Amino acid sequence: MSKFKIIVDSTVDLSPELYKLIDPIIMPLNVHIGEETYRDYYEINAEKLYQKVAETKAAPKTSAVSPGLFKETFEKIKAEGYTGALFVGIGRSLSATVQSALLGAEEVEGFKVRVIDSHSLSTGSGLLALRAYDLRAEGKTLDEVADYLDTLGLKTRAQFIVDNLEMLAAGGRVTGIKLFFGRILRAHPFLQVNNDKLEVIATPKGKTERALDLMLEVAREEITAGLESPRVFITHTQGGERIDYLYNQLKEFVDPKNIYITEAGAVISSHCGAGTIGILYIRK
């Protein structure tokens, strides 16, 4: 097996079982609530986030991993005998974390680091990390894996149905007037990451199933056209009964063994809120 270490940031939102499989180093972004700061994944998760927000009435904010922490991590890996490192992180248009990784790598001499901009978020990035694991297990070199991953980011489909319009508005994703009418009309924004931007594709009104069915329609068309990897994720934050609804619909055109269900962490949840649920995969 190639002797390079896989590193991810805390927004890749994989399950404990998948983290155990990949065995990556997880770099924490930060969540700020009022005067307190928490390290995502290690000190706060979505459940604790919602509790703290309810207690403080403060809108959460997030910040990137620092270049210094990356430098420290790369130096530690080098000292352990690894010949290189592969970092897969949230899209650089959505966070400064990728830029921090590049700056940290510049400070470590005699150690090869490849930094992958996933052009995505949540398990959109996680899917790339899993492909890195697959290819490393096949004996591919660091450069071979990184070059391949560089071709996948814009093929990754990250899409979500969002219910908590207040959290979305606080993150600047919808305007105040859209928020006002969204409340009245019970809108469920359908969001996709396209060309490095998080876009509102549609705002289905009324029952949540209408929005879920729209997302399923997109997923069915793209998945049946072919995937780069068979893995398909249902990623959620307090998704409730919607998880089973999506799973039961997905298994009509996806082999159930390739469907993974995972929860979003505190950073992603800070921007989308409870009830958000998505379907993610890598297109051909």
What are the sequence ranges of the domains in the chain? 4-153, 155-282
Q: How far apart are CA 62 and CA 268, in angstroms?
A: 9
Q: How far apart are CA 276 and CA 29, in angstroms?
A: 20
Q: How far apart are CA 80 and CA 48, in angstroms?
A: 34
Helix (H) or strand (E) run with residue 253 in it: none
Given a cut of 60, whether residue 258 has pLDDT beyond it is yes
CA-CA-CA-CA torsion sign (79, 40, 245, 221): negative
Q: How far apart are CA 49 and CA 119, in angstroms?
A: 25
Looking at 3.30.830.10, 3.40.50.720, 3.40.50.10170, 3.30.700.30, the CATH number of the domain 4-153 comes to 3.40.50.10170
Report, in this order, helix, strand and coil percent for the chain, each rounded to 5. 45, 25, 30
pLDDT for the residue 1: 52
Condensed to tens digits (0 to 9), the pLDDT of residues 26-40 reads: 999 999 999 999 999
- Percent pLDDT > 70 in the chain is 91
Mean pLDDT of all residues belonging to the chain:
92
**Is 109 exposed, middle or buried, given 0-12, 13-18 or 19+ CB atoms closer than 10 A?**
exposed
pLDDT for the residue 242: 97
Same fold yes or no, 4-153 and 155-282: no
Condensed to tens digits (0 to 9), the pLDDT of residues 164-210 reads: 666 665 655 444 445 444 454 467 889 999 988 888 888 888 788 99
Residue 101: count of CB within 10 angstroms of its CB: 31
Chain centre to alpha carbon of residue 202: 21
Condensed to tens digits (0 to 9), the pLDDT of residues 112-153 reads: 999 999 999 999 999 999 999 999 999 999 999 999 999 999
Residue type, 263: E
Q: Nearest Cα to 11, choosing from 148, 164, 117?
A: 117
* Measured CA distances, 259 to 50, 56, 201, 216 (Å): 27, 37, 24, 14
pLDDT for the residue 208: 86
pLDDT for the residue 4: 97
pTM of the model: 0.93
Tokens of residue 192, six digits: 């996709």
Looking at 3.40.50.80, 1.10.238.10, 3.40.50.970, 3.30.1180.10, the CATH number of the domain 155-282 comes to 3.30.1180.10
**Is 151 exposed, middle or buried, given 0-12, 13-18 or 19+ CB atoms closer than 10 A?**
exposed
Residue type, 1: M
